[in-house]
């Protein structure tokens, strides 16, 4: 569902720039919708939605270079954004990958680092988050 949402956002000419667990909202579906789809569970179908478009930027502005700077939640920002400020739709995909890995492992990216500046230094030095290394 989130990949479909990102595909839609990107096809409309935007980059979200802040995909992380706090910006993915989960909603329980109705019992009627669950029964309709054959899912008889009590919670029904869950819907996922992307939220907080406060840092989103239009792709054409990125091409002009007017918004190519560090954006987003540092632990989920890809190396190319930290190193050279290259903001593209790939940024959202990297952040979603970090989010999915966090869901699977229960660990945030760069879990051993508590300071944002330390995270930025690790990325600039070519290091990977612990669960990728």
CB-count exposure of residue 29 (10 Å: 0-12, 13-18, 19+): middle
Strand partners, 15: 57
Q: Does residue 68 carry a pLDDT above 80? A: no
* pLDDT beyond 90 at 54: yes
CATH number assigned to the domain comprising residue 68: 1.10.510.10
Q: Is 18 a catalytic residue?
A: yes
Predicted local distance difference test score (pLDDT) of residue 21: 95
CB 53 within 8 A of CB 72: no
| Higher pLDDT pick, 66 / 88 | 88
Instruction: Residue 95: give the domain boundaries.
Output: 2-132
Q: Would you say residue 41 has pLDDT above 60?
A: no
Residue 120 is predicted with a pLDDT of: 85
Domain count within the chain: 1
CA distances 44 to 4, 31, 38, 106, Å, are: 20, 5, 10, 24
pLDDT surpassing 80 at residue 70: no
User: What's this model's pTM, rounded to 2 decimal places?
Assistant: 0.78
Of 84 and 9, the one with more pLDDT: 9
Q: Which pLDDT belongs to residue 107?
A: 86
Positive or negative, the Cα torsion across 70, 95, 50, 16?
positive
State how beta strands 24-28 and 14-15 pair.
unpaired
Q: Are the C-beta atoms of residues 131 and 107 closer than 8 Å to each other?
A: yes
Are residues 71 and 57 in contact, defined by beta-carbon separation less than 8 angstroms? Answer: yes
pLDDT score, position 6: 97
């Amino acid at each position: 569902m989130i990949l479909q949402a990102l595909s839609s956002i990107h096809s409309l000419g935007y980059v979200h720039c802040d995909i992380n667990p706090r910006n993915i909202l989960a909603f329980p579906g109705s019992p009627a919708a669950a029964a309709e789809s054959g899912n008889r569970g009590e919670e029904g179908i869950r819907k996922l939605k992307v939220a907080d478009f406060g840092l989103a930027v239009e792709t054409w502005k990125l091409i002009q270079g007017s918004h190519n700077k560090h954006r987003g939640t540092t632990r989920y920002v890809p190396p190319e954004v930290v190193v050279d400020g290259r903001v593209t739709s790939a940024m959202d995909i990297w952040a979603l990958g970090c989010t999915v890995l966090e869901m699977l492992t229960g660990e945030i990216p760069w879990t051993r680092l508590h300071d944002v500046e330390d995270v930025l230094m690790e990325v600039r030095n070519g290091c990977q988050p612990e669960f990728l290394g």
